[in-house]
């Protein structure tokens, strides 16, 4: 594969994803409505309940509205990653995936192009949400916008790779909603997006706390939270990178015509 061909393929896939996003005018609005409702409505109800912080120094408390911003950024990435998997299922039903995956380029690279294009959209939507959230004085320093960029990219790629992996096994659009209910909501609520993990442990919810610590989304949120405050969560970032590699390799295996999807269904993906 020559570099010029690789760049051309990436440009073509990314351009198609951006064109689809522009044509779907309500997509950005729908992506912002969910986290903004949580920020404005949910946070308003808990604003005076407690202040929390897991950012050193640990005796520095922050308003609840500030605390949940990283979790809501993660929500934007999570929903967009799952929506990308829906697009993959749709493209497979319409035959677009067959055209893409039969291109004279490595199948893994073509899937990587899809992943990068979806991640680009995820990060753009995350920054639009962050800009709107700034109007509510959420207390995120401007420097955090820059520090968070590489972390948002890695987290978006991890969740997008999870979406790719799910699209291997979702055969029809009708099955998508049910599958997502068993992925999106457990991942979101079993995480520190809305409350710190130590509160779960303190309240005696040991099973929930255990599941949350093994949730990849937990570490994506933690990495974003630390990055927004100019700090590096090395352990969480390592888990995010590890999960990204595992999800993507499994998705590439699933789309391999000799071992994955084609062998099970008897037809191209």
- Answer yes or no: pTM beyond 0.75: yes
Mean pLDDT of the chain: 79
**Residue found under tokens 């044509």:** 23
Spatial separation of the C-alpha atoms in residues 261 and 56, rounded to whole Å? 46
What does residue 193 show for φ and ψ, rounded to 5 degrees?
-65, -35
- 171, 217, 227, 169: which is closest to 197 by C-alpha? 217
Beta-carbon-side half-sphere exposure of residue 181 (alpha carbons within 13 Å): 4
The model's confidence at residue 49, banded by pLDDT at 50, 70 and 90, is very low
CB distance 70 to 221 below 8 Å: yes
Residue 50 has pLDDT above 50, yes or no: no
Candidate ranges 62-71, 176-185, 200-209, 230-239; pick with highest mean pLDDT: 230-239
User: In whole angstroms, what is the distance from residue 171 CA to residue 185 CA?
Assistant: 21
Least confident residue range of 64-68, 149-153, 240-244, 245-249:
64-68
- Higher-pLDDT residue of 128 and 265 is 128
Mean pLDDT on 189-209: 82
- Higher-pLDDT residue of 222, 173: 222
Local confidence band at 152 (pLDDT 50, 70, 90 cut-offs): very high
Would you place residue 237 in the very low, low, confident or very high pLDDT band (cuts 50, 70, 90)?
Answer: very high
Among 61-65, 196-200, 262-266, top mean pLDDT goes to: 196-200
Model confidence band, residue 139 (pLDDT cutoffs 50, 70, 90): confident
Q: Take residue 29 and report the two structure tokens written for it.
A: 């609005």
Q: What is the pLDDT of residues 164-176, one digit of tens each?
A: 888 877 766 666 6
User: Which burial class, exposed, middle or buried, applies to 56 when counting CB atoms under 10 A from its CB (0-12, 13-18, 19+)?
Assistant: exposed
pLDDT band at residue 261 under the 50/70/90 scheme: very low
């Amino acid at each position: 594969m020559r570099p010029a061909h690789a760049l051309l393929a990436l440009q073509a896939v990314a351009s198609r994803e951006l064109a689809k996003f522009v044509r779907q005018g309500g997509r950005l609005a729908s992506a912002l409505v969910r986290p903004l409702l949580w920020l404005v409505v949910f946070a308003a109800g808990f604003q005076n309940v407690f202040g929390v912080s897991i950012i050193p120094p640990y005796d520095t408390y922050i308003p609840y509205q500030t605390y949940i911003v990283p979790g809501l950024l993660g929500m934007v990435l999570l929903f967009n990653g799952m929506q990308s998997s829906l697009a993959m299922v749709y493209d497979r039903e319409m035959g677009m995936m067959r055209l893409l995956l039969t291109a004279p380029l490595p199948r893994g690279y073509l899937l990587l192009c899809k992943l990068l294009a979806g991640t680009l959209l995820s990060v753009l939507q995350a920054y639009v949400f962050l800009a709107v959230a700034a109007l509510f004085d959420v207390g995120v320093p401007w420097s955090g916008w820059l520090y968070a960029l590489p972390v948002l990219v890695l987290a978006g790629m991890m969740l997008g790779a999870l979406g790719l992996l799910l699209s291997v096994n979702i055969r029809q659009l009708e099955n998508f909603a049910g599958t997502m209910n068993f992925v999106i909501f457990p991942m979101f609520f079993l995480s520190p997006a809305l409350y710190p993990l130590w509160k779960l442990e303190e309240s005696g919810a040991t099973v929930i706390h255990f599941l949350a610590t093994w949730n990849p989304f937990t570490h994506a949120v933690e990495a974003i939270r630390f990055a927004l405050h100019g700090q590096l969560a090395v352990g969480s970032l390592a888990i995010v990178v590890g999960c990204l590699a595992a999800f993507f390799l499994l998705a590439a295996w699933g789309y391999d015509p000799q071992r994955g999807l084609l062998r099970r269904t008897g037809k191209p993906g």
